[in-house]
Structure 1
Amino acid sequence: MFKFNVPISSKIKKNKKFIEISNRFRYALIEYYTTFRKYGHTTNTHRKCRGLNYFLDDLRDEFNEHIVPLLPLKKRKNYWDREVEDKLLNNLQEKTQGSCARNPTYYNKEIRILRKEIEDYCDEKAE
């Protein structure tokens, strides 16, 4: 259902880091999809969506650091945005009735961690 199916050479697909990123991507989307199917549009689903967005930002950074340099020079620019954000993640939107809008943030990881903690704290206070 949620495969990390990007147009990339078979040599890169055998790369240990690529396999790890691919598996983590798939498991994260399946986990969110399962939560959505079980609970629908709820606060819990909203939190899971936010967590998924931050997780995907981390995965994007790893992919750009470890996999993009293995690509031919012409394909490197905006590869993640073009092949993952624009294609694969649209599938999640369709399957969850638009419940988890992708909101990529391009801050460094430390800032993203702080932002997530603040957002989680605000949610807890609002309850």
Structure 2
Amino acid sequence: MKEELLKILNMVKDGSIVVEEAAELIEAFYDNPQPKSTNQNPRKKLVIKVNSSDGDKVNVKIPMGLIKIAKVMIPLALAKEGKMKDEEINQIMQFINNIDFDQFEGEELINVDSADGDVVKIYIE
């Protein structure tokens, strides 16, 4: 949580958000504490594979650490834009914080085999 607090404070320092917005974000962090995972494998990745019927192939591996950073940065970016109400940002933040990617390890999250031969697979390894 220390990293998230430093990011919020840096946003205040840079003038991206005002003190009141920072206070609300910090309060939201304390209201929605991050669950501590018992399985801290820094090598886990979100894998996205696409094989099109035309022969195009896409293989993307996103480190889970990057996804965890995104879980923090998305609400901060929404707050910075000022286009959403604080209540809406807090709801999104609570939803994002409650996602436990560790529970999906080894499972296919998405598996699509289309009639024309396109294949899309998303999983955590």
Both proteins in one fold, TM over 0.5: no
Q: Which has the higher helix share?
A: 1
- TM-score, normalised by the number of residues in structure 2: 0.31
- TM-score, normalised by the number of residues in structure 1: 0.31
Larger Rg: 2
Q: Which has the higher strand share?
A: 2
